[in-house]
Amino acid sequence: ELVPESTQYLYNLAVLYKDTGRPADAEPLLLKLEALEPQNVEIQFQLGTTLLGLGRMPEAVARLEKYVATAPADAANVAAARGMIEALKKK
């Protein structure tokens, strides 16, 4: 209830949660961001890596594939996402 509607704040907080081992706290913020900013493809990458942290591999792969399909080819996380997809599909 204290989280403002600032999308940059929500994004930064979600990434902080994800990167500090709190993916369960990051997921609802990222889903809210997805609704508020559907054009922001980086949210798909963050959701994918958050879902990895939650052990939800099929959902993570789907988000990462969506990211790779919609992000510009030179986006910072495209290579990492491709590598994760390839590694996860081998399992």
Strands (E), the chain: none
- At residue 43, the pLDDT reads 97
Confidence of residue 2 (pLDDT cuts 50, 70, 90): low
What are 18's two structure tokens? 């994800």
Give the count of beta carbons closer than 10 Å to the beta carbon of residue 56.
Answer: 16
15: helix, strand or coil: helix
> pTM of the predicted model, to two decimals?
0.90
Helices and strands per DSSP (H, E), number in the chain: 5, 0
- At residue 57, the pLDDT reads 95
pLDDT in tens, 27-81: 999 999 999 999 999 999 999 999 999 999 999 999 999 999 999 999 999 999 9
Does 23 have pLDDT greater than 80? Answer: yes
Q: Is the backbone of residue 75 left (phi > 0), alpha (psi -120 to 50) or beta?
A: beta
- At residue 4, the pLDDT reads 59
CA dihedral 79, 18, 45, 82 (to 10 degrees): 30
